[in-house]
C-alpha cells in the first residue's frame, strides 16, 4: 500500500514522537514548567504544563506545512517545472520534519530537566550540515536554496553557487556542532550567529562575482 511506504511511516513517526513522549511523561511533570530559555539556555519563563501541548502542535504543524511545501514545489513553483528529483526533495522534507521533531522533544525534556543547552547547538549544526549536503542536488526554484537575483537568473550561476554553498554549509554545520560541545552556550550563541552570516554571505558574494564575470564575458 502506498500509504505504508517508508517515507510516510517516517513522516508519521517524526510527527507523532513528541506527542507520544509528552503524553508519557505528562502526569509526572510539575504543574509549572520551563517554557522559554534565554541566550544562556537557562529558563527565563515558567508556565502551566498545559502550554506544552500548544507548543507541540504549533511546531509539528509548521513541520508538516514545510514538508508539504517542499514536496509540492513542482506544482506551485513556475520556475520548477519537474526539474527536481522527487527522491531528493522528499529526503529534504523528511530531514526538516525530523529536525523539528528533535527540537520539540528537546523542548519537552528541557521543560522539566536542567540542561546545558549544548545539545541544541549540536542539533542545529547537524541540520546545517544535512542541508548543505542537499544543496548540490537542488535545481533552480523560488522556495528552496540560495534564492538570489543572480542565481535565479542563471542556471549555471545557481549550480556553481550551490556547489560552493553546499561545501561551506557542511563544513560550517560540523564546526558549529563541534564548537557547541566545547564552548559555553552564551559564547556559542554569538559564534553561531557570526558563522551563519558568513555561511550566507560567502556564497552570496561568490554568486554576485559570477554574475559580474558573465557580464564581462558577454561583451
- pLDDT per residue over 122-173, tens digit each? 999 999 999 999 988 888 877 788 889 999 888 899 999 999 999 999 999 9
133 touches 95 (CB < 8 A): no
The residue ranges of the chain whose pLDDT is under 70 are 1-4, 39-41, 77-85, 116, 219
Query: Beta partners for 32?
Result: 48
Residue 6 grid coordinates: 517508508
Report the alpha-carbon distance of residue 70 to residue 62 in Å, rounded.
12
Q: How far is CA 85 from CA 9, 37, 70, 91, in A?
A: 20, 39, 12, 10
pLDDT at position 144: 82
Query: In the Cβ-directed half-sphere of 186, how many Cα atoms lie within 13 Å?
Result: 2
Domains in the chain: boundaries: 1-115, 116-219
Q: What residues have CB less than 8 Å from 192, skipping those under 6 apart? A: 121, 124, 176, 180
pTM greater than 0.95 = no
pLDDT at position 70: 84
Amino acid at each position: 500500500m502506498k500509504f505504508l511506504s517508508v517515507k510516510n511511516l517516517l513522516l508519521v513517526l517524526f510527527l507523532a514522537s513528541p506527542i507520544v513522549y509528552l503524553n508519557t511523561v505528562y502526569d509526572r511533570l510539575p504543574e509549572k514548567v520551563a517554557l522559554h530559555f534565554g541566550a544562556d539556555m537557562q529558563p527565563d519563563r515558567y508556565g502551566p504544563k498545559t502550554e506544552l501541548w500548544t507548543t507541540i502542535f504549533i511546531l509539528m504543524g509548521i513541520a508538516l506545512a514545510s514538508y508539504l511545501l517542499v514536496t509540492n514545489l513542482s506544482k506551485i513553483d513556475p520556475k520548477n517545472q519537474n526539474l527536481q528529483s522527487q527522491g531528493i526533495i522528499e529526503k529534504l522534507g523528511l530531514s526538516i520534519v525530523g529536525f523539528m521533531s528533535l527540537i520539540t522533544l528537546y523542548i519537552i525534556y528541557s521543560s522539566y530537566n536542567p540542561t546545558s543547552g549544548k545539545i541544541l547547538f549540536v542539533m542545529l549544526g547537524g541540520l546545517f550540515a544535512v542541508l548543505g549536503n542537499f544543496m548540490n542536488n537542488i535545481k533552480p526554484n523560488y522556495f528552496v536554496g540560495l534564492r538570489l537575483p543572480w542565481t535565479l537568473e542563471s542556471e549555471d550561476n545557481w549550480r556553481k553557487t550551490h556547489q560552493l554553498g553546499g561545501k561551506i554549509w557542511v563544513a560550517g554545520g560540523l564546526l558549529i556542532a563541534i564548537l557547541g560541545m566545547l564552548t559555553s552556550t552564551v559564547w556559542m550563541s554569538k559564534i553561531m550567529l557570526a558563522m551563519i552570516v558568513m555561511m550566507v554571505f560567502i556564497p552570496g558574494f561568490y554568486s554576485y562575482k559570477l554574475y559580474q564575470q558573465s557580464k564581462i564575458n558577454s561583451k
